[in-house]
Amino acid sequence: MTNDTQRRGRRIMMGDTERDTYLTEQRTCRVATVSPDGAPHIGALWFVWDGHSLWLYSITRSRRWSQLRKDARIAVVIDDGVEYGDLRGVELSGTAAFVGEAPRTGEPCPELDAPEKLFTQKYFGLPEMPHDGRHAWLRLTPDAIASWDFRKLAGL
């Protein structure tokens, strides 16, 4: 990678506030996990960002869930844009943590109070989180974050 490429990459990165706003506004992410034989699996999920961690509400009988139980490494991409100059996104990677009971039935779990409030407001517009007995929470506090906003290329 040349120095020019590295400099351009830094110039199109989102700042912390830009990234936090972007992650708060976006609705769907793609989650990548790995099977025991090394095969990747990618699926879409709804999520919320609390400024430090990405909270994912996953079906507990999914391939994603069973793969993460065996190998908690995870990568998530949130992106949008149609034309090249409009592309923007964030990639987060690290280790998934299972939070609360699985499946989630609504047992008291103070760690889930904030993410469930954010999630309910974002997706359902309800005062309380509906629990269907099929989903549970994953938390990704990323080890690495990369971001890009190609709209910034117009100013370079």
- Structural element, H or E, at residue 110: helix 110-119
Q: What is the pLDDT of residue 11?
A: 83
Q: What confidence category does residue 137 fall into, taking pLDDT thresholds of 50, 70 and 90?
A: very high
Joined together, the tokens standing for residue 109 give 């779990």
Q: 22-65 pLDDT, tens per residue? A: 999 999 999 999 999 999 999 999 999 999 999 999 999 999 99
The radius of gyration computed from the CA coordinates of the chain, to the nearest angstrom, equals 17
If one counts the domains in the chain, the total is 1
Q: What is the pLDDT of residue 50?
A: 97
Q: What confidence category does residue 154 fall into, taking pLDDT thresholds of 50, 70 and 90?
A: confident
Per the structure, the complete domain to which residue 53 belongs is given by 3-155
| Average pLDDT score over residue span 95-104 | 97
Joined together, the tokens standing for residue 20 give 């936090």
Q: Is the pLDDT of residue 155 over 70?
A: no
pTM above threshold 0.95: no
Q: What is the pLDDT of residue 68?
A: 97
Q: What confidence category does residue 7 fall into, taking pLDDT thresholds of 50, 70 and 90?
A: low
Are the CB atoms for 150 and 83 separated by under 8 Å? no
122: DSSP letter: I
Q: 110-128 pLDDT, tens per residue? A: 999 999 999 999 999 998 9
| Average pLDDT score over residue span 76-81 | 97
What's 135's domain CATH number? Answer: 2.30.110.10
